[in-house]
Structure 1
Amino acid sequence: MPTAPTPFPLLSTDRLDLIEIKDTHAADLLRLFTNPEVTAFYNVVPLHTTADTLRIIGMFRERQREEAAIRWGIALKGQQEMIGTIGFNSYTKGRKGVIVYALEPAYWGKGFITEALTAVLAYGFHTLAVNRIEAEVMPGNVASEKVLEKSGFLHEGLLRQWLYWEGKWYNINMYALLQADFSTRHTA
């Protein structure tokens, strides 16, 4: 017998609401993932139309229903317009998750991703009970590396030809944060 769907977990911080990405956010997502500054270090399925974006939103919903991934829209407090996304591209409850995030350039350098990341990490470690959260960062994405290091992630090394995307191999820097390290940082 199927279980009743659970409500999407809304999160909030001092300045942000982490919201469910709905069909009404298609234009926001299209704007975000067609910006070359955003996608310079972010391999994303090419989006050209609202229909493309609606398929991605449907995929987000399906992966969340399957308890395989969860993605939040990032909105300024009290607003519904998305300025970015954050979440687990994949996770296995009780084991590990892989974090991803993207933010519109107008909001870079203001601490928004670090703030959103802290809330999502807490959700991952406490609600999903993962022990390890990984972040795969393309070499050259210095801003993302700084966010991760500020959040307690450790650089574990370069994974050579780790990612194959659109006919090309990419090296990836692996960052990781363990639940014990997060708890130590956030109970002191």
Structure 2
Amino acid sequence: MFPRLETDRLDLVEINEDHLKDLYTLFSNKEVVRYYNLLPYKSLTDGQKFIDWYRTRFEEKLAIRWGIALKGSRNIIGTIGFNNYTYKHKAQIGYDLQQAYWNKGYISEALNKVIGFGFENLEINRIEAEIMVGNTASEQVLQKLHFTKEGVLRQWMFWNEQYFDIIMYSLLRNEHC
């Protein structure tokens, strides 16, 4: 069963076909995908691929991704979760949010809840975040939550016929407040 998480202002829910329009709104925005290895969505079909991929990865116990909804809403304003994880070892976290909801503390709030879930329920020891150079907003969120900047992985990502430098951040279980 997919775990539902709650914070003071948010519900973290399973992403399903009811969220196709929300995913399109999120990922068709060029500013949202600017630091993402994802081209802007062109149709609702792109959202279905996202749902199918994460649903399969969850069933295989390899990843988990929640939709971020304002408390009591059925619509999602973003997504968050572990793009991949190894039980009792490590996980790679990722998150995104519709531009209209930026700078309101929603990602920090959701991230804190998901981090706790990873350490407690998946018994993860290390959570990694890979940030494209230039994504200062994401870096600030990670620093606020006590992630450690480990360094720059030069030309680590090859996507859309380009190389990108990636900044590696991590948080260990014994560092989590």
Q: Give the TM-score, by structure 1 length.
A: 0.92
CA distance in 1, matches of 2:12, 2:38: 21
Hey, which bits of structure 1, 4+ residues long, moved more than 4 A?
Answer: none
Whether 2:9 is the aligned partner of 1:19: answer no
Question: Alignment identity in percent?
Answer: 51
CA distance in 1, matches of 2:105, 2:92: 21
CA distance in 2, matches of 1:90, 1:169: 22
CA distance in 1, matches of 2:38, 2:31: 13
How many residue pairs end up in the alignment?
Answer: 177
AA aligned opposite 1:143: A
Aligned to 2:32, what secondary structure does the other structure show? helix
Which residue does 2:148 correspond to in 1?
Answer: 154
Whether 2:134 is the aligned partner of 1:140: answer yes
Partner of residue 37 from structure 1, selected from 31, 40, 48: 31
Whether 2:55 is the aligned partner of 1:61: answer yes
CA RMSD, aligned part only? 0.9
| TM-superposed deviation, 1:46 | 4.6
Which residue does 2:172 correspond to in 1?
Answer: 178
CA distance in 1, matches of 2:45, 2:100: 25
- The within-5 A match list for 1:38-117 is 38-44=32-38, 46-117=40-111
Residues 132-183 of structure 1 deviation map (CA, whole Å, 9 limit, x = unaligned): 000000111111000000011010000001111121111000000000000x
5+ residue gaps in structure 2? none
AA aligned opposite 2:135: N
| TM-superposed deviation, 1:80 | 1.1
